[in-house]
Copies of this chain bind each other. A is one copy, B any other.
């Protein structure tokens, strides 16, 4: 507040003076608000383990067993066989059955099941995803879309892995648009059978785990047709291979071959030529056909029925959010450990500097560490919401919709973050990072597909955007006059400022000498929340207004209008997802009891929040939410925070709780430290011996 007087000063400060003032204020703000910073690694680690800590630890411990570890340089054939054996071991362990009902040996523990599953990534992502296919997709479909008959008949074999299964939803021609799959299941009243059929090449089922080799039955999604009416996509239980592994009559397929990663999974294609299955193989929880061909459903609307069935997919998205966050954390644990040991180029004191002492290196890794922390907190909230819905404790249509929106928001960000972070970790560890022995490239290859499976990230963000638009529209439906007025005022105020630049002018003047307030306001949680929330709301309102004419346009023109703003819509959804992560991190901070740890985490939280603002700085400037001066303070403040966090970086990755046997990266095992110590000792000994050669450079200087 002291500096405010300056704003009336007649002589404006120079650039250098202001830059100096900004840096001083950043430091003073930091000092004034800083407790003694130090991380209680174990306690923080327990917080990160989340709500199912014991389950997580048990699964993590199981991953210490070498039989579950990824082996590089296998052909896909060998890798597939190894993964198959791993799945049998998992089935025998009983660890992967938690979500199933108690009568089938499970625990009905939905959250814990996901948590347990997520840890499998520490062993081999192929094993994780093949498990996901078997128990998370194939088994879950039978559980959630089927009824008692299916549970009794099929679940035991699925759970025990006696029946490796296929989740046959996607087709070569239709992935994101499941509603339009080409496969048909036509009811034949004469024989009381469904006839499953693939009418053209594009309708082959494709990219299916277990399809190329191991799967002996499939849940097939097909258009249910009875009495000349197509009731939309339903799921059917279809045996596909006999006991010798040969296709059953009418069934054919193809191997998807080698892939960019996850080569322990035998992905493949399936097609059906008038394959007959009993009527009762329809998984009939949400739609049934009587022997006489009459269709019934507890859900009237075909659209809502479809989305309800697909809702079971959400657990895949929930678990990918957690697994990807783990992947990013592993990359950071490796790169930061190495960056604290590896030295390159002599610094000012003549000693070689460790990589993490370089400003650029810190900027590459520490903000990504902040995002990873945000994701851990956000993921735990997602897990809780998932568990509440799937356990039935909080299973309302609204809660399901919220859960689906939350998963659709978080999964894209975390899967992209994993790829981005693993790539940065790869480059930050140089040639060493490219060697499979250091783990990063294998993880990155395997996680690549996470960005487009279980819902293409871009499509998921559009689902989120759709929800945001719907919520926005709701404000006006039946809104009382007061609410509308409030909104109108908000808009009007915004417009005045847009049009005349008045608010910007005011802010410029206010910011002028008040660097202190600018900086301290930025670290204020409420100020960050306001900036982040305001952006989401403005972007949604902006797109909504631009799409307003759509309702009056012919379909094609409306589509064109929508298409023109598709990019903006997706960006609005991303902004919303970022805000959700930030909110979760903010709440997560409150769980930290130790003051020193809390101090460090609050810096990390600010790096995350201000990092989002920095990333979108152009928006804040263009829309007059930040003055140029304050915008500069954002970057300066992040720079200082990153430097503050640097000494705690190792503690922050250690708190992830991965052991060497989990990371299995030679450069993160202490080998680099040994090499550095040996080299330094060698040179010290040489100098002490007096035998060290003189450098020509030094000779020349002496001349």
Contacts and interface: CB of A to CB of B under 8 A. Distances in A.
Within the oligomer, what is the number of copies of this chain?
2
Contact of A693 (B230, B495, B500, B545): B230
A398 B338 CA distance: 38
B359 A566 contact: yes
A17 to B, nearest CB: 10
Interface string A386-428: 0000000000000000000000000000000001000100110
Interface string A495-528: 1001111001000100000000000000000000
A81 interface: no
Contacts of A448: 423, 426, 434, 441
Contacts of A427: 451-452, 456-458
- The residue among A16, A344, A570, A676 with the most chain B CB atoms within 10 A of its own CB is A344
Interface stretch (A251-259, A278-286, A604-612): A251-259
A206 B434 CA distance: 12
Contacts of A570: 360
A442 interface: yes
A287 to B, nearest CB: 10
Contacts of A469: none
Contact of A345 (B177, B346, B436): B177
A552 interface: no
Interface residues of A, number: 128
B567 A202 contact: no
Interface string A42-79: 00000000000000000000000000000011111000
Contacts of A499: 12-15, 18
Nearest to A671: B201
A302 B498 contact: no
Interface string A533-565: 000000000000110000000111111100111
A596 interface: no
Interface of A is mostly: helix
A650 interface: no
A330 interface: no
Contact of A256 (B435, B456, B495, B697): B435
A206 B618 CA distance: 44
A426 B260 contact: yes
A472 interface: no
A359 B564 contact: yes
Interface string A608-647: 0000001001100111100010011000000100000000
Interface stretch (A158-166, A167-175, A371-379): A167-175
Interface stretch (A31-39, A143-151, A316-324, A347-355): A347-355
Contacts of A453: 431
A554 B349 CA distance: 9
Contact of A202 (B19, B72, B201, B678): B678
Given A302-B697, A302-B700, A458 B257 contact: no
A449 interface: yes
Contact of A500 (B12, B302, B559): B12
A678 B348 contact: no
A407 to B, nearest CB: 19
A245 interface: no
A180 interface: yes
A94 interface: no
Contact of A229 (B201, B359, B360, B696): B696
Nearest to A557: B348
Given A229-B693, A360-B570, 17 more contacts: A15-B495, A15-B499, A73-B257, A73-B258, A75-B75, A173-B676, A177-B352, A182-B682, A201-B675, A201-B679, A206-B431, A257-B435, A348-B556, A358-B563, A359-B565, A434-B448, A621-B631
8 contacts: A173-B676, A180-B352, A223-B693, A260-B433, A261-B441, A349-B556, A419-B423, A427-B451
Interface of A: 12-16, 18-19, 72-76, 170, 172-177, 180, 182, 199-203, 206-207, 223, 225, 228-232, 256-261, 263, 295, 302-303, 344-350, 352, 357-360, 363, 419, 423, 426-427, 430-431, 433-437, 440-442, 444-445, 448-449, 451-453, 456-458, 495, 498-501, 504, 508, 545-546, 554-560, 563-567, 570, 614, 617-618, 621-624, 628, 631-632, 639, 674-676, 678-679, 682, 693-697, 699-700
The 3 nearest A-B residue pairs measured at CB: A260-B441, A348-B559, A348-B556
